[in-house]
Homo-oligomer: A and B are copies of this chain.
Amino acid sequence: MRIYGEEHPNQEILSRIATNDGHGENSSYFDGWKAYENDPFHLTDNPTGVIQMGLAENQLSLDLIQDWMKKNPQASICTEEGVSEFKAIANFQDYHGLPAFRKAIAQFMEKVRGGRARFDPDRIVMSGGATGAQETIAFCLADPGEAFLIPTPYYPGFDRDFRWRTGVQLLPIHCHSSNKFKITQAALETAYRKARNSHIRVKGIVVTKPSNPLGTTMDRDTLRTLVSFVNEKRMHLVCDEVFSGTVFDKPSYVSVAEVIQDDPYCDRDLIHIAYSLSKDLGVPGFRVGVIYSYNDAVVSCARKMSSFGLVSSQTQHLLASMLGDEEFTTSFLATSRTRLCGRRRVFTDGLKRVGIHCLDGNAGLFCWMDLRPLLKEATVEAELRLWRVIINDVKLNISPGSSFHCSEPGWFRVCFANMDDTAMKIALRRIENFVYRENDAAVQAKNKRKWDETLRLSLPRRFEDPTIMTPHLMSPHSPLVQAAT
C-alpha cells in the first residue's frame, strides 16, 4: 500500500477561487481594519490605541431600539411574552420569508423614501446582508467575464461582492472632484466604449446612492440619465440604496423607484435595488439584506439563491414587529437623521478649524475628506505614505481613496457614526495635533531648507505660501495660517 500523507501544495487541490486573491482583502481598506484590531482604542483600557474610523457603522440611535424592545417583549420569541411563537418561528425556513417581515420591510423602504415610492412585499427577496444581495444580483444578471460599469470612487467590498465568486468584472466610470464626483454622460460613454473596444460585454451599471464613500445623494437628472442610458443600451441599472435612510440634509433623497414610477418608457425589467438594514437601522450583525427587482425572473431566481443566505427567522420575527410599528419607525428615522447631521457637523467643523475640508455631503455615515494639500505629490504612493502615518502615528484608521478606486490621490473616507462623543473628540484632537505637528515640520523645513522624508511627512510646497491657500481651507484659527506666516 502506498503511504499517503505526503506534502502537497494547496494550489493543486483547491479551486482557483480559493488560491487567487480575488476576494480583494489585500487592500489598504482592510489593512486599516487589521491595524485597528491589533491595537483597538478604548477610553480607559487602551486610550492610545487606534480609533476605528474605517467602519461605516451607525451606532448613534441604537438606544431607541433598546427602548422599543423593553416596551415590546412580545416581539421576541425569547421572552416569556413571546415564547409561545418559538416553535413556529424556529422551524420557519421558507425562502419567501415571513409575510409579516416582507410587508414590514416594504413599508420601511417606503417610509425611508418619504412615501414617494411604493414597494410590493412580493418582490422583497432576502439575502445575507447587502453583501449577499450584491452577489446574488451579479449571479442573476451576468456571466463570468461580463461586466458592470461603476462610478469611482466606490466601496472596496464590491470587488468581493460583485466579482469574486461570480467571475464578473467591474469597470470604472471615472469621476472627478471638479464637478463633485458626479457621473456625466461623457464619462459614462467613455467607460462603455472602452469596454466594447476590449470586447467585454457590459451588462449594467452599479451605483451606490447615497454614495459610499462620498456621503452625497444623486440628483434626479443624473438618475434619469442613467435610466435612459441602460434602456438605450439594453443593460441593467443596479442601485445600492443601503444608505437611503441616512439622508440628513438637503437636497432630499431620490430613489430609482421614484424615477421609474414617473417614466412610462422605462423597461422595468432592467431595474434592481439592493437594500439592507445594516446602515439605516444600525444592525449589521443581523444580516438583513434585500434584493428588490422589478424583473419577475430575477425575483424568482434571486429567491432561489436566497437559500444560501436567508435571514434568521428569529431576526425576521423581531423586525416584523419593530418595522411594522410606524410610530416607532417615523420617530427613529427622524431622530437618527438629526443625530447623524449633528455628528457630521461636529466633525467637519473640527476639521475646518485646522484647515481640512470635506466634500459637501448630506448623507451617509462618513465624510470624504480632502487631504490633497498634505500630499507631497499627487500620486497613490504619496497618499499611502500619508495614510500610513495617520494609521501608525496619529492612530486613526481612515481609508485612503485609492482603496475606493478614486482617480485622484489625496481623498480619504472617514466614518463618524461608529463611536461615542468622547471618542469623536479624541479623534478630532489627534487630527489637530497632527496638523500642528506637520505644520511645525513645514516651518522647520522652510527655515532649514532641509528635508528628511524618511523620518517625517513633509507638507507640500504650496502650504508654505499662504497667498495660494483657498479661503475655505484656512479658517482664522487654523494653525496652518500661523504656520505659513
Contact in complex: A267, B315 (CB < 8 Å): no
Minimum CB–CB distance from A111 to chain B (whole Å) comes to 20
Q: What are the interface flags for A227-249 relative to B under an 8 Å C-beta threshold, 1 for contact and 0 otherwise? A: 01001101110000000000000
Contact, CB under 8 Å: B78 / A18: no
| A327 located at the interface, meaning its Cβ lies under 8 Å from any Cβ of chain B in the complex | no
Given contacts A305-B165, A309-B128, contact A270 B90 (CB under 8 A): no
Are A135 and B308 within 8 A (Cβ)?
yes
Residues in B neighbouring A139, C-beta threshold 8 A: 15, 17-18, 165
CA distance A315 to B128 in the complex (A): 14
Q: Mark A123-156, 1 if CB is under 8 A from B, else 0.
A: 0000011011001000111110010000000000
Say whether, besides A90-B282, A285-B312, A304 and B23 are in contact (CB < 8 Å). Answer: yes
For chain A, give the interface size range: 35 or more
How far, in angstroms, from A70 to B86 measured CA to CA in the complex? 11
A 312-353 to B, binary, CB cutoff 8 A, 1 in contact else 0: 111100100000000000000000000000000000000000
Contact residues in B for A278 (Cβ distance below 8 Å): 93
**Quick one: copies of this chain in the complex?**
2
- In the complex, chain B residues whose CB is within 8 Å of the CB of A228: 4
Q: Does A267 lie within 8 Å of B90, measured CB to CB? A: no
Report yes or no: A91 in contact with B282, Cβ–Cβ below 8 A. yes
| Complex interface: stretch among A42-50, A61-69, A449-457 | A61-69
Contact A315 B318 (CB under 8 A): no
Residue A426 at the chain B interface, CB threshold 8 Å? no
The distance in angstroms between the C-alpha atoms of A66 and B81, with both chains bound, is 12
Residues in chain B near residue A79, CB distance under 8 A: 73, 76, 78-79
State A377–B342 Cα separation when bound (angstroms).
Answer: 77
* Chain B neighbourhood of A132, CB < 8 A: 128, 307-309
Contact bitstring A80-118, B, C-beta under 8 A = 1, else 0:
100110110111110000000000000000000000000
CB distance from A159 to the nearest CB of B (A): 12
A393 part of interface (Cβ distance < 8 Å): no
Tell me the nearest residue of chain B to A295, going by C-beta: B10
Query: Nearest Cβ in chain B — how far from A455, in angstroms?
Result: 36
Which residues does chain B contribute within 8 Å of A140, judged by CB atoms?
14-15, 17-18
Chain B residues near A287 (CB-CB < 8 A): 93, 309-313
User: Within 8 Å of chain B (Cβ to Cβ): is A13?
Assistant: yes
Is B93's CB under 8 angstroms from A66's CB? no
Hey, which chain B residues are within 8 Å of A298, CB to CB?
Answer: 14, 18
**A269: which of B10, B131, B141 is its contact (CB, 8 Å)?**
B10
Question: Which among B18, B78, B264, B309 is the interface contact of A75 at CB below 8 angstroms?
Answer: B78
Taken together as a complex, chains A and B put the C-alpha atoms of A2 and B418 apart, in Å, by: 47
Asked if A160 lies at the interface with its beta carbon under 8 angstroms from chain B, I say yes
Could you give, for residues 279-306 of chain A, a 1 whenever the CB lies within 8 Å of some chain B CB and a 0 otherwise? 0001111110000000101100100110
Interface string of A153-170 (1 = CB under 8 A from B): 000000010000100000
State whether the Cβ of A266 lies closer than 8 Å to any Cβ in chain B: yes
Complex CA gap A228/B143 in Å reads 38
A464 contacts the other chain (CB 8 A): no
- 206-223 of chain A: CB within 8 A of chain B: none
Residue of B nearest to A304 (CB): B23
Chain B minimum-CB-distance residue to A296 = B10
Distance in Å from the Cβ of A417 to the closest Cβ of chain B?
11
With a cutoff of 8 Å between Cβ atoms, the chain B residues found around residue A421 in the complex are none
Determine whether the beta carbon of A301 is less than 8 Å from that of B267: no
Quick check: A285 and B308 within 8 Å, CB to CB?
no
Q: Does A472 make an interface contact (CB < 8 A)?
A: no
- Determine whether A6 belongs to the interface, using a CB cutoff of 8 Å to chain B: yes
A361 to chain B, nearest CB (A): 23
**Nearest Cβ on chain B to A156's Cβ, whole angstroms:** 13
Check A3 for interface membership: any CB of B closer than 8 A. yes
8 closest Cβ pairs, A-B complex? A285-B313, A76-B78, A4-B231, A312-B312, A309-B309, A93-B284, A18-B301, A92-B285
22 residue pairs from A and B, CB less than 8 Å apart: A4-B265, A4-B266, A5-B267, A15-B142, A15-B146, A18-B301, A62-B90, A66-B86, A76-B76, A78-B78, A89-B285, A90-B282, A90-B283, A91-B283, A128-B128, A128-B132, A160-B304, A286-B312, A287-B309, A309-B309, A314-B314, A315-B315
Interface residues of A (CB under 8 A from B): 2-6, 8, 10, 12-19, 23, 25, 57, 59, 62-63, 65-66, 69-70, 73, 75-80, 83-84, 86-87, 89-93, 128-129, 131-132, 135, 139-143, 146, 160, 165, 203, 228, 231-232, 234-236, 264-267, 269-270, 278, 282-287, 295, 297-298, 301, 304-305, 307-315, 318, 418
